[in-house]
């Protein structure tokens, strides 16, 4: 017997309070759900939208249990929620995706080991706990390579590019005693992502494959559909299905992939949640990634993910505010009627901080990219 469906009118609990939680909360409200937010931050992007905002440490497990008592299901909007927090909530209500998914994907080494042990293609990697480990790993994998902290990293945080043996001592010291992972650099043609949902009944629904470009390790522009062959797109979706089935995901999970110059696929990272590259689904697809997450965790039928038109998304970082003297030229950006603006309710812009995004739809992916880049450029003119 399947678990009960959680119907509109119920209360969804969200661990985390950033922009992903904000857009999830907007989707949940549209479908008639109420949303309670739990995080250490006040006046947060998600807290501004949720019905209730609980401000408390993730480590306060009694508060977490009390929070879980007030909701019908719990999900999360970023993977750095401590596993103990997820486990405490799961004592009271379902947590979706469950704690195994969170435990696996919030730690780079565990994630890579899981994927490798289950036969999924990954970049060569080695565990780093000492400088001797690092020297041996470099001897085996060669340089350049990327040294990362094993946990609590995103948008390039906790990463160092190594190109010379002279860097090893300093690079290891910058791990500051935490476990690391060394990954071989990949000669890749492009980066893509598959955002996909899996329901309580095992139903699988992928979004179109997205193509991503980065600047300073932060996603800059996403294009849908990706500029790859139909065969490679099918292979990417099949690979994602395998990952979601292996982890028994109930909810949303994103598989970030490298396309090598030989036309093969390598898994870069997993994200057990909605994803920055999927933001364009709000304007581009029949069902957004946020509504799809809601449908999956509540046991509702999954929505259609059909792409309505070629679409591109451009991230808006705090740098735009700084370059424009504090107030971006919104009127100029929106002078193109194809442009959609999404802001995240963050009051303090900082360099590298994600403040919002723009999307554009057009007749072709190239035209969509051209339009969204031009709109972003107009913000600082």
Of residues 359, 118, 104, the one with CA closest to residue 246: 118
Mean pLDDT computed over 178-188: 93
Structural domain includes residue 55: yes
pLDDT-derived band at 162 (thresholds 50, 70, 90) equals: very high
pLDDT, one tens digit per residue, over 89-112 is 999 999 999 988 999 999 999 999
Task: Examine the fold and report which residue of 162, 184, 206 is the final residue of a domain before the chain moves on.
Answer: 184
Verify that 149 and 46 share a domain, yes or no.
no
pLDDT for residue 1 is more than 80: no
Mean pLDDT computed over 4-15: 96
Verify that 306 and 342 share a domain, yes or no.
yes
| Alpha carbon distance 74, 65 (integer Å) | 11
Residue 171 structure tokens: 């690079």
CATH number of the domain at 230, please. 3.30.470.20
Structural domain includes residue 100: no
Verify that 192 and 339 share a domain, yes or no.
yes
Structural domain includes residue 110: no
Domain that holds residue 142: 124-184
CATH number of the domain at 170, please. 3.30.1490.20
Structural domain includes residue 224: yes
Verify that 148 and 239 share a domain, yes or no.
no
pLDDT-derived band at 2 (thresholds 50, 70, 90) equals: low
Verify that 74 and 195 share a domain, yes or no.
no
Verify that 74 and 204 share a domain, yes or no.
no
CATH number of the domain at 22, please. 3.40.50.20
Q: What is the pLDDT of residue 46?
A: 98
Sign of the dihedral defined by the CA atoms of residues 7, 9, 10, 12, in that order: positive
Burial (CB count within 10 angstroms: exposed 0-12, middle 13-18, buried 19+), residue 262? exposed
Structural domain includes residue 170: yes
pLDDT-derived band at 157 (thresholds 50, 70, 90) equals: low
pLDDT-derived band at 124 (thresholds 50, 70, 90) equals: very high
pTM as predicted: 0.95
Mean pLDDT computed over 125-134: 95
Q: What is the pLDDT of residue 158?
A: 74
pLDDT, one tens digit per residue, over 22-74 is 999 999 999 999 999 999 999 999 999 999 999 999 999 999 999 999 999 99
Verify that 159 and 282 share a domain, yes or no.
no
| Helix/strand/coil percentages in the chain, nearest 5 | 35, 30, 40
Q: What is the pLDDT of residue 4?
A: 83
Structural domain includes residue 102: no
Number of domains in the chain: 3
Mean pLDDT computed over 222-231: 98
Verify that 355 and 257 share a domain, yes or no.
yes
Task: Examine the fold and report which residue of 141, 169, 184 is the final residue of a domain before the chain moves on.
Answer: 184
Structural domain includes residue 1: no
pLDDT for residue 156 is more than 70: no
pLDDT-derived band at 314 (thresholds 50, 70, 90) equals: very high
Q: What is the pLDDT of residue 235?
A: 98
Verify that 140 and 202 share a domain, yes or no.
no
Q: What is the pLDDT of residue 155?
A: 58
Mean of per-residue pLDDT scores for the chain: 95
Verify that 289 and 252 share a domain, yes or no.
yes
Q: What are phi and psi of 262, to 5 degrees?
A: -90, 0
Mean pLDDT computed over 270-296: 98
Q: What is the pLDDT of residue 365?
A: 98
pLDDT-derived band at 136 (thresholds 50, 70, 90) equals: very high
Structural domain includes residue 117: no
pLDDT-derived band at 154 (thresholds 50, 70, 90) equals: low
Verify that 280 and 339 share a domain, yes or no.
yes
Verify that 226 and 337 share a domain, yes or no.
yes
């Amino acid at each position: 017997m399947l678990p009960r469906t959680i119907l509109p009118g119920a209360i969804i609990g969200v661990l985390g309070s950033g922009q992903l939680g904000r857009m999830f909360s907007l989707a949940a409200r549209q479908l008639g759900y109420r949303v309670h937010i739990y995080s250490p931050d006040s006046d947060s992007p998600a807290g501004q939208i949720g019905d209730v905002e609980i401000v408390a440490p993730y480590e306060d497990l009694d508060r977490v249990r009390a929070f879980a008592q007030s909701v019908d299901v719990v999900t999360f909007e970023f993977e750095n929620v401590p596993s103990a927090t997820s486990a405490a909530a799961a004592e009271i209500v379902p947590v979706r995706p469950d704690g195994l998914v969170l435990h696996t994907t919030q730690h780079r080494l565990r994630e890579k080991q899981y994927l490798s042990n289950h036969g999924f293609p990954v970049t060569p990697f080695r565990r780093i706990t000492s400088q001797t480990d690092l020297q041996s790993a470099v001897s085996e994998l060669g340089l350049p390579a990327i040294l990362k902290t094993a946990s609590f990293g995103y948008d390039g945080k906790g990463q160092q590019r190594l190109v010379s043996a002279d860097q090893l001592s300093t690079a290891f010291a910058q791990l500051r005693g935490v476990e690391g992972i060394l990954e071989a650099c990949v000669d890749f043609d492009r980066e893509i992502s598959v955002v996909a949902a899996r329901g309580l009944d095992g139903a699988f629904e992928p979004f179109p494959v997205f193509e991503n470009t980065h600047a300073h390790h932060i996603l800059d522009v996403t294009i849908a559909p990706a500029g790859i062959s139909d065969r490679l797109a099918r292979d990417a979706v099949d690979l994602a299905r395998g990952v979601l089935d292996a982890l028994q995901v109930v909810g949303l999970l994103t598989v970030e992939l490298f396309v090598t110059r030989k036309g093969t696929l390598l898994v870069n990272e997993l994200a057990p949640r909605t994803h920055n590259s999927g933001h364009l689904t709000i304007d581009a697809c029949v069902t957004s990634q946020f509504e799809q997450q809601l449908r999956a965790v509540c046991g509702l039928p999954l929505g259609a993910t059909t792409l309505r038109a070629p679409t591109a998304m451009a991230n808006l970082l705090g740098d735009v505010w700084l370059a424009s003297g504090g107030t971006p030229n919104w009127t100029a950006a929106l002078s193109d009627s194809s442009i959609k603006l999404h802001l995240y309710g963050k009051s303090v812009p900082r360099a590298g901080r994600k403040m919002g995004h723009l999307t554009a739809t057009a007749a072709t992916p190239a035209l969509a990219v051209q339009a969204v880049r031009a709109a972003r450029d107009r913000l600082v003119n």
